[in-house]
Structure 1
């Protein structure tokens, strides 16, 4: 199971890099334009993806026993991310955060065993769930919002392949 999660984490990293590369071709004003969705702009939607990854990573890491290698990994802090309409400098901060979060997820997964995915942790509702559930929700959440970015770009008539299934990242 660990290998499946690791493959998905690398896939998400690849998609995030492609999304960033495409969004970087847009002017800051165009990227920040309110598109009418809950997260308004493309960059705010991407910020939400990155921030949620940071939050999920914190849940994963805090659930591990003290002697685990992943316990000492430096994680990006979602509380440091800027909100609202972004400047070009703030957009760069989001991109850097996303890169760090994507790599941290891969690093955490590399340090875990299949058995570790059964470790119980407290979910946001207070329920106890296995780490595999936290990981699955992180993956589903990220893919969902990557798809929303793709849909917005489609509506804007901007070619993208974020929902295409690719194995090149392997």
Structure 2
């Protein structure tokens, strides 16, 4: 399916950059928050990952499907492992979507849109939060950041 293959390629270029970004973060900054009510760096990573799975499962089922509880971790490497595993699971779920699921209208918080439009919004959501994480990384002293998209295999 060309439509979903193009989506996966585009989305993965951002997800891979997020995985690369985690290489610039030290364990001491996992709970860093730039202000009191912000999500921590690690909470934001888990939010991004869980949200994409939520959007895909919502398109798959046709009804809002809440994200699972975030997984626990202790180190940046644990966080990378979680993100990598959830990325692989999301790829599998995306590849299983049918043309009908991509075209069906999904009600997401009172807005009805085709499944593919919801997925595009999900990618925009991830890009938005990934940008926040680039800022977090700079605020924690990271000097060399990856490019905002990645073509790594």
1:119 aligns with 2:104: yes
Q: State the TM-score, normalized to the length of structure 2.
A: 0.73
Secondary structure of residue in 1 paired with 2:106 = strand
Give the CA deviation at 1:105.
4.9
- Pairwise CA distance, 1:79: 1.5
Q: Which has the higher contact order (CA 8 A, sep 6+)?
A: 2
Structure 2 residue runs of 5 or longer lacking an equivalent are none
Query: Aligned equivalents of 2:130 and 2:85: distance in 1?
Result: 16
Separation in 2, partners of 1:101, 1:49: 14
Q: Which residue of 1 aligns with 2:145?
A: 160
Name the CA shift for 1:44/1:116 in 2 (closer, same or farther; >3 Å): closer
Unaligned runs of 5+ in 1: 65-76
Alignment match of 2:67 (pick from 49, 61, 78)? 78
Q: Which residue of 1 aligns with 2:42?
A: 43
**Cα distance, 1:96–1:163 mapped onto 2, change above 3 Å:** closer
Which 4+ stretches in 1 moved above 6 angstroms? none
| Deviations 1:94-151, CA, capped at 9 Å, x for gaps | 324432344135413xx533x65321122122x4321122112111111111111122
CA RMSD across the alignment: 3.2
